[in-house]
């Protein structure tokens, strides 16, 4: 997940969510594992139960319109999470498309005033 966060840093937000009932276990794991993204805890296991997590790590990719676009075990042999899948989701995300269009519009507008 560190690699995905680094590669897609402008368009992807990775948040680690632990469902361990013992916060001390989560803190201990975080101390031993390098993670370059924010961490949260769900000791009540609400998310774990709501999405039917069957293995760890379990990944949800949620687009800006609130739709789960991919979920599962990222290292699965059947359907591993790859850069290509993440790129496809990012490129189809309506919020990201709108942001990119606005950025391009601003860039064009700022370039137009430079006189050529």
Percentage of the residues of the chain whose pLDDT score is greater than 90: 50
Do β-strands 59-62 and 16-18 pair in parallel, antiparallel, or remain unpaired?
Answer: unpaired
Domains: count for the chain:
1
- Please check whether residue 116 lies inside any domain of the structure: no
- Residues 41 and 20 sit within 8 Å (Cβ to Cβ): yes
User: Where residue 22 sits, what CATH number does that domain have?
Assistant: 3.40.30.10
pLDDT tens across 3-33, in order?
Answer: 999 999 999 999 888 876 677 877 888 889 8
Residues sharing a CB contact under 8 Å with residue 68, sequence separation 6 or more, in sequence order:
51, 60, 61, 62
Q: Could you list the residue range(s) of the whole structural domain that residue 87 is in? A: 2-110
Instruction: Give the SS3 label for residue 36.
Output: coil
Task: Note the pLDDT tens digit of each residue in 61-83.
Answer: 999 999 999 999 898 899 899 99
CA 77 to each of CA 74, 84, 100: distance values in angstroms, whole numbers, following the listed order: 9, 16, 33
């Amino acid at each position: 997940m560190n690699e995905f966060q680094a590669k897609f840093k402008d368009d992807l937000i990775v948040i680690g969510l632990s469902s361990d009932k013992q916060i001390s276990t989560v803190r201990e794991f975080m101390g031993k594992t390098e993670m370059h993204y924010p961490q949260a805890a769900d000791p009540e296991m609400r998310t774990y139960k709501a999405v039917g997590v069957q293995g760890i790590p379990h990944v949800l990719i949620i687009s800006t319109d609130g739709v789960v676009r991919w979920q599962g075990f990222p290292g699965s042999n059947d359907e591993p999470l790859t850069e290509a899948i993440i790129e496809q989701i990012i490129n189809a995300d309506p919020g990201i498309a709108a942001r990119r269009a606005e950025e391009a519009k601003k860039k064009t507008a700022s370039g137009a005033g430079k006189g050529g």
